[in-house]
Amino acid sequence: MDQFRENEIKKVRDEERSKCQMELQALRKELEILYKSKQDTLNEKEMRIGERFKVELE
């Protein structure tokens, strides 16, 4: 009986661990997408500022 109980507890822990890992992976992917979007926006701003600066120097 104790063996069965231990196996059930282990099974529940493994399921919870797997669930948490999947949630973390989804959040990580979401943050990576958000970071990339912000990075692209900053790169575009930097390019525009650089172009304006070159025009002003001419």
State pLDDT tens for residues 25-48. Answer: 999 999 999 999 999 999 999 999
Question: In whole angstroms, what is the distance from residue 32 CA to residue 53 CA?
Answer: 31
pLDDT tops 90 at residue 4? no
User: Residue holding tokens 């390019």?
Assistant: 47
- CA distance readout (Å), 5 to 1, 13, 45, 51: 6, 12, 60, 69
pLDDT tops 80 at residue 58? no
Question: In whole angstroms, what is the distance from residue 22 CA to residue 28 CA?
Answer: 10
Mean pLDDT across the chain = 94
Which parts of the chain are beta strand (E)?
Answer: none
